[in-house]
Structures are given as C-alpha cells and as structure tokens.
Amino acid sequence: MTDAEILQTVRRLEHCDFKPGDFHHRDHLAVAVVYLYATDLPGALDRMRNSLQRFISHHGLRGYHETISCFWMHQVEKQLDRGLCLAESVGRAQAMLSDKNLVYRHYRRETLHSSQARERWVEPDQ
C-alpha cells in the first residue's frame, strides 16, 4: 500500500465508507499503524475505539470487542518502528501480524467470548 492508499483507508473507516464486509484485518492493521504514528498507545486506542464504534453503529451492527481491539493495538505497537516510512511500517505490520488467529495463542475462546472481554480489557490467559 502507498501512503495515499493507507490514509484513504483511514478516511474511509472514519467516514463509514466501507461496507461492513469490506473492512478486513489488514485494513485494521493499517489504521492501527497510522493512529500509533500520530500519538501514544492510549491515544491511538481511544481513536481506534471511537472509529470502530462509530462504524459499527453507522451500519447497525453489533460486535465491538474491547479486548480484541486492545490486543491488536498492543501487537501493532510492539512491531512498530517509527523510523520506517508509513508504507513500510504498515507492510511490516501486515506481514508480521497477518494471522487473525494469533489472538487465540494468548486467550482461550471462552475468555474472548465472555461479555466481560467484550466490554473491557481482559489480560491474556497465557
């Protein structure tokens, strides 16, 4: 992805221009990198939370999950190298964090499917 494509992805999420099925894991990762380039982890988490909740509400969906969102933001932050240009950093995050099932190496399914994990951050089981 080019810088322009990455920033367009962020804009499309924030303006709810994606159809629900068209915003994929790799897009989440790109947005996470942009948000983390702009601010610290707590600020980036707030921005991601607000963007996802607005997107979900706009499309009449349910499904925002605090623990999963925070988990992925933490994973991206660990991989982030702010010395790289935006496109390189997004490409790196997408390559290193492409496995959507990574979350299950840290959490039991029962934990993630709990209402507690949906509503607030829950520490990993492992």
Q: What is the radius of gyration, based on Cα positions, of the chain? A: 14
pLDDT of residue 16: 97
Whole-angstrom distance, CA of residue 89 vs CA of residue 111: 31
Q: For the chain, what is the mean pLDDT? A: 96
Would 9 be classed as within a structural domain?
yes
Q: Are 124 and 60 in contact (CB under 8 A)?
A: no
How many CB atoms within 10 Å of residue 84? 14
What confidence tens digit (pLDDT) does each residue in 2-20 have?
Answer: 999 999 999 999 999 999 8
pLDDT of residue 9: 98
Would 65 be classed as within a structural domain?
yes
Would 8 be classed as within a structural domain?
yes
Q: Residue 86's Cα: distance from chain center in Å?
A: 16
What confidence tens digit (pLDDT) does each residue in 87-122 have?
Answer: 999 999 999 999 999 999 999 999 999 999 999 999
Whole-angstrom distance, CA of residue 106 vs CA of residue 108: 7
Whole-angstrom distance, CA of residue 115 vs CA of residue 118: 5
Give residue 85's pLDDT band: very low, low, confident or very high (50, 70, 90). Answer: very high
Give residue 62's pLDDT band: very low, low, confident or very high (50, 70, 90). Answer: confident
Q: Are 97 and 7 in contact (CB under 8 A)?
A: no
> Domain residues for 45?
3-99
Location of structure tokens 């494509």: 5
Would 125 be classed as within a structural domain?
no
Would 63 be classed as within a structural domain?
yes
Q: Could you give the number of structural domains in the chain?
A: 1
Would 21 be classed as within a structural domain?
yes
Location of structure tokens 């790196």: 92
pTM of the model: 0.94
3-state secondary structure of 111: helix
Would 123 be classed as within a structural domain?
no
